[in-house]
A and B are shown apart, each in its own frame.
Chain A
Amino acid sequence: MSEPKTALHLIVTCTLRHWRISWPGYLLLLLIVAVGVGAFNGIRQASRAASANFGLFNEAVSGRSDFLIEARSGAMPASLLAELTGLAGVPDWHLLPVIEGSLTLIDETGEPVQQVRLVGLDLIAVGNLPAFNEQGLSFADDDAEWYQRIGPESGIWITETLAEKSQLARGDQLAFVAGGRRDSVLIAGVLGEPNQGMPDDLIVADLPAVQRILGREGLLDRVEVLLTDRIARVDPKVISGVEQRLKSGLPEALVLRPAEERAAQRASMTEAFRLNLLILSLIAILVGAYLILQALDAAVVRRRNETATLRSLGVSARVLFATSLSEALLIGIIGSFAGIGVGFMLAHGAVHLLADTVNALYFATSAEAIQLTSDDWILGLSLGIAFSFLAGLLPARDAMETPPAQILARGDWSPGFNWLRRPAPALALAGIGLLCLLLPPPTMAGGSKMAIGGFLAAGSWIMAAALLSGQSLVVLAKICRPLGQGPVWRIAISRLGDGSSRHRLAVAGLVVAVGMVTGMLQMVGSFRGTIENWFDVRFQADLYVSERGSSGAGNTNGIVPDIMARLVAAPEVEFADTLYLRKVDAPVGSTQLAGIDFAAWQTRISQIWLKPPGSLQPVEGAQPALISEAFGRRFGVLEGGSVTLQTARGPRAVSPIGVFADYGNEFGTAAIATETWQEWTGGERPINTSLHLVEGSDLNEVRDRLRLEFPGLDIRNGRELRTLALGIFEQTFKVTTALNGIGLTVALAGLLLGLLAIFQESARSWQTLGYLGFPRKQLVLAAGIEGAGIALAAWLSGTLLGLVLGWLLIAVVNVQSFGWTLLWQIPFPALLTFGAALTLVGFVCGVVSGSWWFLKNQK
């Protein structure tokens, strides 16, 4: 029989039958692959759905747009519509003006209940849209004339989902807070059918009504262009023709952008964030691969006799290699398919978490439907199969090297794994890692940089540590040997000190997981510490005021100037540090332009200055600015220079005179004098203010009084603000923590399986000890000590690796990806606790696997 046929025959008659007999174990393996692939795919899908939608909330009603007409920067005056009348008469497209903003719905006591997106559309013209008609939507009202349903005083329309969820109906009043103002509005109707699947955070009203509610009379956000002929939409020639016609009809103040560009823009903003998440999710697959390695190797050990018999019958080593590897591939294929399904479910769970994070950090978003694309299939399957293949290589080699039964019969035999003992490969990897650090980070579409050198270095060092870790076991055993005299101790320590390849393998896997967990713990800890420190320095005012319910970067409307003026005029307020903010286009991507009290920032407002104001000379002709570290790194002006930003008034240059630390956003901030900011942007609404009260004022009393007077504003004292900020911070790391947890659990399961394999392999020795009269209890204790020893060794090497990784993450990856400097903090108590816990778990694993083995083998 040819070799392939032989291999196939063996797979069918041996491998698959083993699967049938020991199906729980194999099911577990499939599950592990599924979890690994699922975690990776799930994160990808969830982060895509959370941040890559077009961000055009009206699409649920009006359908997908093809182009957007917007002002160059900021809002669009509605008066500009008069200049679009030429384009308005063309039946090839529909033009739909849109304005949108956030409302925070409040309950009777005034407490925020939910944040919703209020979208203003022309409720008459929307009836021209095919998508609107196809969905069977209608703004008609049996009891009202058409002119009563529209206009500035008309009511709002909520979706069925929201109506059901909040028990609201037509005719109710909806109380809300927006722009710092508290108000209520009539619910004119419910939009759509039950179970139509419209988002629950969408509220629609006639455009003039929304302008009034948001206090943005005379303004629009954009005009959407929807092509009539939906078939021609896919023809790029048609599209470009239409684009030309549209552009030629636009006034100077407006620009035309394809709608996809917005999605790309948004995607690029979160690219760094999503990439980091993705890499973290690779932990799950990596550790899963390790687990498969352990399990398959254990299977090889269990079937050692069988393999040896086949060898003695003349089956070639190659066939045995192929058979064993095929088993791994089969696990990979089946597990990966299952993983796609697991990922899909995981994505549903994770998407809201991610959407909240994106909302908090980047822009207003709502979770889109999770989509399973062909890319997801291809990537998930490839990854799962590839990792299973890699994991299966070692056991396959092991199987291949099994001698015929005659040799095996002689005693305990173990494969060499000699390469694990040699330091050369490990040192080479460490060297490669160092070289990788020299790689400059490439810039991504959104302007942020990818710390590719850092990631590659991390990967190399992790592998190097895994390879060298076995040595730590031997060293540990040597050190611990004198600590005990009893036979149990002797046996356990001698086995550890033997440094068998299988022991080294067990340590290696655990080291990787420990290293990564430790590294992440440090980064998170350092981040928290840095932020806390930053807080302590930066936030020294008495009270902090912002728009009520605006929980993130995407949701601010800005505070109505009247209200701000009244607040600042309160008698207890000595000084108000008011902040204006506007997103502007930069040379690459976008950044934040802030309006501040320029003089006060240089004198009385405390900051963490990387370069104090005045230490840099401004460039002539450019506006002096105080910039954040991230801004400086992104645009290369940490030592001075100038950057041109696109404002509503056209391109304007800013030049830094000082650099401050800012952990609020990774896109950088350039702060200029408020008057100039207002001139450049045409804006007039601040987003927050910090109040310094008159000496002797009762902080909390003033806070309470102001809260009553301004129910639409969020007023907190320093401590409350700190709690809020740290809460956001914790939230952003939730996913990281979850992934860490997965990785660690998988690693520990791997330890368990590894120990089982170890004991199986040394069956002879255990049997002999048994014959010698060793009580089983003592043998199990020895197994426990062995497990604890492996775990401890892994913790020691892993922590060392982790410290290096931590440094890497903080000093290299974070700086390159996000542009900020963190204070490196090593959470010693956490690390020690971790080590103790791990050792304990190792002990338990040893006891469990020892007991299990005895149960199975000594009837």
Chain B
Amino acid sequence: MNKAVTILEVKDVKKAYGQVEVLHGVTFDIADGQRVALTGPSGSGKSTLLNCLCGIEPIDSGFIKVNGQVFAQSSRRELERVRRESIGYVFQAFHLLPTLTALENIELPGQLIAMPTKERKERARHLLEAVGLSPRARHRPDTLSGGERQRVALARAVMHHPRLILADEPTGSLDSASGKRVLDLLETLSRELSIALLLVTHDLHSTRICERSISIRDGRITG
């Protein structure tokens, strides 16, 4: 971790859907290993911003740079590569592949970057243990509870040594106990693996694991 290095740089990003402007020139950045919370009410543009940050939605104007890669000049294939190699995503709805076991779900990003088999399997097991689910290695998602699923999703998100985790309401579908556990894990993983974190949430309690907080309202950064 080098706090001097900026992992994510967002400058004056604008985005509109048809006539409706959703982002009005958003600017902020995140340093290497830093944990930042992004809060705001529904409809404030959080999700849109996240989509732009992982290269899924194009921006109308402005500048986004992730781990040295500038998005505006990148082709779709390069953006896919960025997603595979540099970014880990945690969804509110977990989004695990239903036909894969917990261990296989975790391994998947490793396979996508052609991690050597031995290293991949070891890392996956290690991560599974780290999130406390070793006994569930061969279980499919439909036999796991919500909290367990999200923990598997966490492990998956860091499998491929990303530089940045984007977490979109990771506890939104969980009860408070599971949610707390997930947040703690998120913090631990970020800290121990030196991965920057952008945590999008509308729950202010969740921001405790972050070092800094940004709020967005009506498509503008307000704090």
Contacts and interface: CB of A to CB of B under 8 A. Distances in A.
* B is a partner of A: yes
Interface of A: 1-2, 6, 9, 13-14, 17-18, 21, 305-306, 308-310, 312-316, 403-407, 409-410
B163 to A, nearest CB: 14
Contacts of B54: 312, 404, 406
A409 B80 contact: no
Interface pairs A-B: 10 shortest CB-CB: A314-B84, A17-B99, A314-B83, A309-B95, A1-B114, A314-B80, A404-B56, A406-B51, A405-B95, A14-B99
Contacts of B112: 1, 6, 313-315
15 contacts: A2-B114, A13-B97, A17-B100, A306-B99, A308-B95, A309-B95, A312-B54, A314-B80, A314-B82, A314-B85, A314-B109, A316-B77, A405-B95, A406-B91, A409-B91
A686 to B, nearest CB: 76
Contacts of B104: 13
Contact of A14 (B51, B81, B93, B100): B100
A308 B56 CA distance: 11
Nearest to B82: A314
A314 B51 contact: no
Contact of B100 (A13, A312, A314): A13
Nearest to A307: B97
A1 B109 CA distance: 10
B95 A305 contact: yes
A406 B99 contact: no
A674 B51 CA distance: 92
A305 B51 CA distance: 16
Contacts of B108: 313
A6 B98 contact: no
A390 B39 CA distance: 48
A406 B168 CA distance: 9
A9 B89 CA distance: 21
Contacts of B97: 13-14, 306, 309-310
A345 B93 CA distance: 50
Contacts of A405: 91, 93, 95
Nearest to A316: B80
Contacts of B92: 409
A409 to B, nearest CB: 7
Interface residues of B, number: 31
A407 B97 CA distance: 17
A410 B57 CA distance: 13
A18 B104 CA distance: 15
A315 B108 CA distance: 10
A306 B108 CA distance: 13
A4 to B, nearest CB: 12
Given A406-B56, A409-B93, A313 B99 contact: no
B158 to A, nearest CB: 13
Nearest to B166: A406
Nearest to B92: A409
A407 B56 contact: yes
B213 interface: no
A1 B96 CA distance: 20
Contacts of A316: 77, 80
Contact of B99 (A18, A407, A410): A18
Contact of A21 (B91, B99, B111): B99
B18 to A, nearest CB: 14
Contact of B111 (A1, A403, A404): A1
A511 B148 CA distance: 49
Given A1-B114, A14-B100, A313 B83 contact: yes
A312 B56 contact: yes
Nearest to A308: B95
Contacts of B96: 309
B47 interface: yes
A17 B141 CA distance: 14
Nearest to B83: A314
Given A312-B95, A315-B84, A406-B168, 10 more contacts: A1-B111, A6-B111, A13-B97, A313-B89, A313-B112, A315-B112, A403-B56, A406-B50, A409-B92, A409-B93
Interface centre among B77, B98, B99 (most CB of A within 10 A): B99
B70 interface: no
Interface string B55-75: 011000000000000000000
Given A314-B83, A407-B56, A13 B99 contact: yes
Contacts of B98: 306
A313 B54 CA distance: 10
A310 B104 CA distance: 13
B113 interface: yes
A407 B100 contact: no
B201 to A, nearest CB: 16
A318 to B, nearest CB: 9
A409 B172 CA distance: 14
Contacts of A9: 111
Nearest to A306: B97
Contacts of A306: 97-99
A18 B100 CA distance: 10
Nearest to B110: A1
Contacts of A17: 99-100
A86 B56 CA distance: 92
B197 to A, nearest CB: 17
Interface in B99-144: 99-100, 104, 108-109, 111-114
A729 B89 CA distance: 70
Contacts of A308: 95
Contacts of A407: 51, 56-57
A760 to B, nearest CB: 15
Contacts of B89: 312-313, 406
Contacts of B168: 406
A170 to B, nearest CB: 70
A601 B47 CA distance: 90
A312 B93 CA distance: 13
B70 to A, nearest CB: 18
Contacts of B113: 1
Contacts of B85: 314
